[in-house]
């Protein structure tokens, strides 16, 4: 797994584009001081380093004393942020509005109340049109403070107007915050435990959801952010309990909310991308081929939309989701070998954004790449990627990925003919899954089969595959077992062993039948 840098200044410099670096140098040169020269010297050294090396900095910058370095780094960090703020204020509405508030505060401190109120009035209109409720509230509170000292009209009318405004904005903020808190808690729960594994999990999640969610009776009366966070909460709830049809329903509402309010796609691009990600995820789980391809095509074209500000964060999210669902498309269609064309691009993406991607996302990518290689029949490459997951020791993060990576590891070793290793690792996998309270019936059946493998005669192997296949098919409709088939299509693999055909041929045939049945 790529190393994640810990020095914040170094991370910031490495994240800069060429234009941002040029803009910073122009900004520093305006300072025209010896200190500015030191800034540029330190900046240039860090910019050229591949990894942060403090001793190398001091060797190259003789004018910087060791005791000065810490303060100089802190000051350089601050100046970089100031430079970026000036650049981003041109196209980021929130920064622009905050800048206006800062100007008004300066005017207020000089006693120029009327001028301050004029700037605040424009900033408040901007905040309202861009649905920045918290900024709108901050401006209203500032206006109230100024009105106490400078009466511009009938104080009674103005006071009532500001009180009404503050009350309405506060209601919107409070309501949106309540639902956003719930959505965040549900997402946190999903990262810790994955999908509901049994009735106990289902009751726990349902109880939590129902006790925290006070449903509004009329969604039509809700504002944009209230609807957004309500849909987001529903998506995570249904995803955790594995009701993918309802998950699809609310993910679609999430995406359509943006498409009905086109201006919000540019203002909240990250949230629109996350909605697209969840919609495609649900369509993949439902194996809804035509709709999945339609939405994937929409996502693919989004990067070319000039009305959307693709900053570094939005670009990272875009490519993360696009590559994830491009892989899922190959899983859905059984085109694993064709999907290997994505590997170099994905590895390059992980390398380029290694300082920004969280380990959860990287683990998911490595598991998917391992599955892609497995499906294509390249078991050695599959093993290499699955080991990236197994070697990551923090199992508190996505324990479900760790669990299924161990199963994929065992099946891959079986394909490679490493029977003795399989027998040894089955025991450790049993212990791991039991410790994680993640040992379900599907996993138990697979492990039991692999544990008996060394005692099965070659001529009896096919009948054992058939027996295991029949057991797993009977479990496929169990709501608490189906998550196992989402991570590892073990049934198609067994069918490939029984029919002595590549697994991707089996999945391609299933995909064709699903498409035909959908057209009927």
pLDDT digits (tens, 9 = 90+) for 31-73: 655 555 777 888 999 999 988 888 888 888 888 888 888 888 9
Task: Find where tokens 């303060």 sit.
Answer: 71
Task: Find where tokens 């919609």 sit.
Answer: 279
pLDDT of residue 505: 94
Domain for residue 136, yes or no?
A: no
The neighbour count for residue 122, using CB atoms within 10 Å, is 13
Distances (CA, A) of 205 to 210, 251, 279, 464: 9, 19, 21, 38
Confidence bin at 395 (pLDDT 50/70/90): low
Average pLDDT value over all residues in the chain = 87
pLDDT of residue 470: 93
Domain for residue 273, yes or no?
A: no
How far is 200 from 206, CA to CA, in rounded Å?
10
Long-range (24+ apart) CB contacts under 8 A made by 480-486 are 480/196, 480/197, 480/198, 480/199, 480/202, 480/440, 481/440, 481/441, 481/442, 482/242, 483/194, 483/195, 483/197, 483/242, 483/400, 483/440, 484/404, 484/440, 484/442, 484/443, 485/442, 486/195, 486/285
Q: Which of 60, 88, 116 is the last residue of a domain?
A: 88
Surface-to-core class of residue 54, CB atoms within 10 Å of its CB (0-12 exposed, 13-18 middle, 19+ buried): middle
Residue 391 backbone zone (phi > 0: left; psi -120 to 50: alpha; other: beta): alpha
Q: Pull the structure tokens for residue 6.
A: 């810990």
Give 190 or 374, the one with higher predicted confidence: 374
Residue 32 backbone zone (phi > 0: left; psi -120 to 50: alpha; other: beta): left
Nearest to 258 by CA among 246, 245, 269: 269
Give 214 or 166, the one with higher predicted confidence: 166
If you ran DSSP here, which 8-state letter would residue 92 be given?
-
- Share of residues in the chain with pLDDT > 90 (%): 44
The neighbour count for residue 330, using CB atoms within 10 Å, is 24
Q: Pull the structure tokens for residue 188.
A: 């946190």
Rg (CA), the chain: 28
pLDDT of residue 249: 97
pLDDT of residue 436: 67
Is 439 in contact with 451 (CB distance < 8 Å)? no
Q: How many domains does the chain have?
A: 2
The pTM of the full predicted model, rounded to 2 decimals, is 0.82
- 398 pLDDT higher than 80: no
Domain for residue 64, yes or no?
A: yes
Domain for residue 359, yes or no?
A: yes
Nearest to 465 by CA among 433, 504, 426, 492: 492
Give 428-458 pLDDT, tens digit per residue: 888 887 776 667 788 888 888 888 877 788 8
The neighbour count for residue 380, using CB atoms within 10 Å, is 10
The neighbour count for residue 225, using CB atoms within 10 Å, is 21
Domain extent at residue 79: 8-88
pLDDT of residue 277: 97
Q: Which of 88, 118, 146 is the last residue of a domain?
A: 88
Domain for residue 260, yes or no?
A: no
Nearest to 224 by CA among 186, 176, 272: 176
Q: Which of 88, 119, 136 is the last residue of a domain?
A: 88
The neighbour count for residue 367, using CB atoms within 10 Å, is 23
Give 260-306 pLDDT, tens digit per residue: 999 999 989 999 999 999 999 999 999 999 999 999 999 999 999 98
Give 93-113 pLDDT, tens digit per residue: 899 999 999 999 999 999 898
- 333 pLDDT higher than 90: yes
Give 299-331 pLDDT, tens digit per residue: 999 999 988 888 888 999 999 999 999 999 999
Domain for residue 508, yes or no?
A: yes
How far is 162 from 345, CA to CA, in rounded Å?
54
Domain for residue 430, yes or no?
A: yes
Q: Pull the structure tokens for residue 160.
A: 């009532």
How far is 309 from 268, CA to CA, in rounded Å?
10
Task: Find where tokens 């009180």 sit.
Answer: 163
Give 519 or 350, the one with higher predicted confidence: 350
What is the CATH number for 381? 1.25.40
Long-range (24+ apart) CB contacts under 8 A made by 46-51 are 46/9, 46/10, 46/13, 47/13, 47/14, 47/21, 49/10, 51/3, 51/5
pLDDT of residue 268: 92
How far is 312 from 301, CA to CA, in rounded Å?
18
Distances (CA, A) of 113 to 106, 151, 189: 10, 9, 49
Nearest to 488 by CA among 372, 383, 388: 372
Domain for residue 212, yes or no?
A: no
Q: Pull the structure tokens for residue 74.
A: 């802190």
């Amino acid at each position: 797994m790529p190393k994640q840098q810990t020095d914040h200044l170094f991370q910031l410099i490495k994240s800069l584009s060429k234009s941002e670096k040029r803009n910073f140098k122009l900004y520093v040169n305006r300072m025209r001081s010896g200190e500015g020269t030191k800034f540029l010297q330190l900046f240039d050294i860090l910019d050229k380093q591949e990894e942060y090396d403090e001793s190398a900095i001091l060797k190259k910058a003789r004018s910087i004393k060791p005791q000065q370095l810490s303060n100089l780094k802190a000051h350089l960090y601050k100046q970089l942020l100031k430079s970026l703020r000036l650049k981003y204020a041109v196209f980021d509405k929130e920064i622009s509005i905050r800048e206006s508030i800062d100007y008004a505060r300066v005017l207020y401190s000089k006693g120029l109340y009327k001028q301050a109120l004029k700037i605040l009035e424009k900033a408040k209109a901007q905040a309202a049109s861009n649905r920045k409720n918290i900024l709108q509230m901050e401006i209203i509170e500032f206006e109230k403070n100024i009105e106490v000292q400078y009466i511009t009209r009938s104080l009674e009318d103005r006071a009532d107007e500001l009180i009404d405004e503050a009350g309405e904005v506060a209601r919107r903020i409070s309501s949106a915050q309540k639902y956003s808190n719930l959505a965040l808690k549900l997402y946190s729960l999903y990262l810790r435990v994955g999908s509901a594994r049994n009735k106990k999990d289902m009751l726990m999640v349902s109880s939590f959801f129902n006790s925290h969610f006070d449903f509004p009776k009329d969604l039509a009366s809700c504002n944009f952010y209230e609807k957004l966070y309500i849909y987001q909460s529903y998506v995570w709830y249904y995803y955790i309990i594995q009701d993918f049809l309802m998950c699809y329903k609310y993910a679609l509402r999430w995406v359509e909310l943006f498409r009905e309010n086109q201006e919000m796609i540019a203002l909240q691009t990250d949230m629109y991308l996350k909605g697209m990600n969840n919609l495609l995820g649900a369509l993949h789980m439902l194996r809804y081929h035509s709709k999945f391809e339609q939405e994937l095509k929409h996502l693919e074209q989004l990067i070319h939309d000039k009305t959307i500000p693709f900053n570094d964060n939005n670009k990272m999210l875009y490519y993360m989701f696009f590559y994830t669902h491009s892989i899922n498309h190959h899983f859905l269609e059984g085109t694993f070998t064709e999907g290997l064309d994505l590997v170099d691009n994905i590895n390059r993406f992980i390398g380029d954004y290694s300082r920004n991607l969280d380990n959860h996302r990287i683990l998911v990518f490595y598991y998917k790449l391992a599955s892609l290689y497995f499906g294509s029949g390249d078991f050695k490459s599959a093993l290499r990627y699955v080991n990236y997951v197994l070697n990551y020791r923090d199992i508190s993060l996505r324990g479900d990925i760790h669990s299924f990576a161990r199963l994929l590891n065992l099946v891959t070793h079986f394909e490679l003919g490493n029977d003795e290793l399989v027998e040894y690792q089955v025991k450790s996998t049993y212990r791991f899954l039991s410790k994680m309270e993640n040992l379900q019936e599907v996993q138990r059946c697979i492990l039991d089969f692999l544990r008996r493998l060394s005692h099965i005669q070659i001529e009896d192997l096919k009948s054992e595959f058939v027996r295991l296949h029949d057991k797993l098919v009977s479990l496929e409709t169990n709501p608490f077992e189906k998550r196992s088939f989402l991570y590892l299509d073990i049934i198609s693999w067994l069918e490939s062993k029984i029919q002595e055909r590549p697994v991707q041929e089996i999945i391609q045939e299933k995909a064709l039948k699903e498409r035909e049945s959908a057209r009927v």
